[in-house]
Structure 1
């Protein structure tokens, strides 16, 4: 009878230890918790700053290199202008687009350049794109 009590005692201790150990295991949810709103806002701001840094790097690297300016900047500006025209003015023909853009901006995106625009010229043209 003493042997049975020993076995029951050891079994009770083992069950108690198992319950304590299982309770200390953290519960893992099937999906990660949603990030707080501040984190989402910070991520959006980081993306915006990354885009600005991208443009800054591209503009700096093309300052004296016309072919590089054409491939990295002029094409992107043309895409941006086309998208702005489409969203704000609907589908327009080339004549109407030239009228909306103005001669200088229209030339920037359609005519092969002979020189990289200065910072002041580029700033003025980009401001014009923002006005569209």
Structure 2
């Protein structure tokens, strides 16, 4: 009977110790709810920044890689220039396109380049596309 009382005493002490330990565990407050995304007005801006970062990455990755510049950037610049010409001037021939674009830009989009243009050259040529 004495052994049974010892076991019962040890179990009672263990239960009391467990209660004390559990009460000392700090309660973590719940995380505040995530606010809903802003209205659709913010999405186009986010999309525009994502596209700008994509282009920045694409241009940076082609800085020292001529074949990659030709396949990724030169082709897209040509598409942009052709689209601008079509919208602003309608269907025109190569001679008129060269006249509107200027010799340097026309050559960039029609002839495989021998070297990747510098940032300044590329910025100037892109600005020329925007002016069309």
Common fold by TM > 0.5: yes
Partner residue of 2:90? 90
Compute the TM-score of the two structures, normalised by the length of structure 1. Answer: 0.71
Size of the aligned set, in residue pairs, is 97
Moved over 3 A (4+): none
Partner residue of 1:56? 56
Instruction: Give deviations 1:61-99, integer Å, cap 9, x for gaps.
Output: 000000000011000000000000000111111111000
Partner residue of 1:104? 104
Partner residue of 1:70? 70
Partner residue of 2:117? 117
Q: 1:40 offset after TM fit, Å?
A: 1.2
Q: 1:54 offset after TM fit, Å?
A: 1.1
Q: How does 1:3-82 map to 2 (within 5 A)?
A: 39-82=39-82
Query: Is there any run of 5+ residues in structure 1 with no aligned partner, and where?
Result: 1-34
The CA distance in 2 between the partners of 1:91 and 1:41, in whole Å, is: 36
Q: 1:111 offset after TM fit, Å?
A: 0.7
Larger Rg: 2
Instruction: Give deviations 1:80-130, integer Å, cap 9, x for gaps.
Output: 000000001111111110000000000000011110000000000001000
Compute the TM-score of the two structures, normalised by the length of structure 2. Answer: 0.71
**Root-mean-square deviation over aligned CA pairs:** 1.4
Query: Is there any run of 5+ residues in structure 2 with no aligned partner, and where?
Result: 1-35
The CA distance in 2 between the partners of 1:92 and 1:113, in whole Å, is: 24
Instruction: Give deviations 1:19-46, integer Å, cap 9, x for gaps.
Output: xxxxxxxxxxxxxxxx99x521110101
